[in-house]
Amino acid sequence: MSDLPPLPALPPAFEAGSLASLDDAALEELLTALAAGERATVAAMAPHQSQLKELRARTGQIATERRRRERAAHIAARASVREQARSGEMPSVVDALATTALPDDRALADVEAFLKSGGEVRFGYATRPGPLPFTDGRRVSNATNWGDARRLFGEGWEPGSPGVPGVRVHLVGTRVERVVDASEVVVRTND
């Protein structure tokens, strides 16, 4: 970058107290010299500003490409989940509870779950992930691990609470939560 012009020299410095002793013409002469120095500095900086603008534009292009790749990977991951849910490779919560799909000591907060549409979710509230309520129609019991959930399901309890059937999930990385039908949530059974 040695082909860029150097910055111009500053006009001579002055003491603030000496300004009171100068007449109007001398003050005007100082202002003219400072304005000329400012114009020369702006002109000398123009190539530097242009280079900074180009560097920022190139950085923006790379950032855009990274975001494009992240979006493509995210879309591919969601498509993979939809395909695995469709093929049965990832069983629904109901199907998984009826089998020994996961170890009994696995905490529900650690179970990888997805909506059939591909979005990654976790059980429970966003601020309190993990517990999964089950109901017998009158009472509610919370399961905190897969074994508790399988036991309650085996005893005829259903995911949800009285009057609100389904599984409470929240989207990973957000505070968005909702109750969905247990057949609409699939779990990853392989580690």
Q: What is the mean pLDDT of residues 75-86?
A: 83
* Chain segment 106-132, per-residue pLDDT in tens: 998 888 889 988 888 999 888 888 889
Q: What is the mean pLDDT of residues 49-76?
A: 92
Which pTM was predicted? 0.63
The answer, yes or no, to whether residue 64 has pLDDT greater than 90, is yes
Average pLDDT in the chain: 87
pLDDT band for position 57 (cuts 50, 70, 90):
very high
* Chain segment 128-179, per-residue pLDDT in tens: 888 899 999 889 999 999 999 999 999 999 999 888 899 999 988 888 889 9
DSSP the chain: -TTSPPPPPPPPP--GGGGGGS-HHHHHHHHHHHHHHHHHHHHHHHHHHHHHHHHHHHHHHHHHHHHHHHHHHHHHHHHHHHHHHHHTSS-BHHHHHTTT-S-TT-BGGG--EEETTS-EEEEB-SSSBS-EEEESSS-EEEE-BHHHHHHHHHTT-EEEETTEESEEEEETTSS-EEEE-GGGEEE----
pLDDT band for position 4 (cuts 50, 70, 90):
low
The answer, yes or no, to whether residue 55 has pLDDT greater than 80, is yes
